[in-house]
Amino acid sequence: MIEEVPIEFRAGVGTDIHRLVEGRKLMLGGVLIPHPMGLLGHSDGDVVLHAVIDALLGAAGMGDIGTFFPDTDPKWKDADSKELLSIVKEKIAEKKWDIINVDVTIHAEQPRLEPFKGQIKRVIAGLLGIDFNATNVKAKTNEGLGEVGEGTAIAATAIAMLRKKIKRI
């Protein structure tokens, strides 16, 4: 006889930061943002999706983005971070984790991200297969402080909540 026992919940936090450079597209949360510079990274540099990946992996106790997609592996050079997030979603589903919600804060002086927050939410919710309202995106400036405040970098912080039903035999 199989008996269900309490549901286990876990939270994970992810962060990422990349330098802004000329000659790259600015991808944030899987959305192409019009801007004269983009984020330097081994993949497409999407700090939003990278932070979400780390939050999910952290909650599941499965390491970090570098565990699965090392920047020393040419396979991931210029990779689309939407693809990386889809792979991580599959990996945590294999471990029987369900995604409850994701909350993201983007730290950027420029460009203004208010017009893109809904689109970023839609992309993240779609990639993770969760409700639009279970995804939240905020944008903050650094009030001129540090690399982000000086406009030379963009960063993101994410938290994710997972749940799993644990069964006994």
Domain boundaries, the chain: 3-168
Pick the CATH number of 3-168 from 3.40.50.150, 3.40.50.10800, 3.30.1330.50, 3.40.50.1100: 3.30.1330.50
Range name among 19-33, 62-76, 108-122, 133-147 with the lowest pLDDT average: 62-76
Which residues is 156 bridged to in the sheet? 16, 106
- Measured between alpha carbons, how far is residue 116 from residues 54, 67, 122, 131 in Å? 22, 30, 10, 18
User: Band of the pLDDT at 84, cuts 50, 70, 90?
Assistant: very high
Please state the rounded mean pLDDT for residues 87-100. 96
Q: Residue 166: which pLDDT band, with cuts at 50, 70 and 90?
A: confident
What's the pTM?
0.94
pLDDT given at position 87: 97
Structure tokens belonging to residue 166: 């644990």
Q: Is 107 helix (H, G, I), strand (E, B) or coil?
A: strand
Distances (CA, A) of 84 to 9, 23, 78, 128, 146: 24, 22, 11, 12, 29
The two three-digit tokens of residue 41, written as one number: 């990274």
For residue 59, which of 165, 166, 159, 167 has the smallest C-alpha distance? 159
Distance CA 56, CA 89 (A): 8
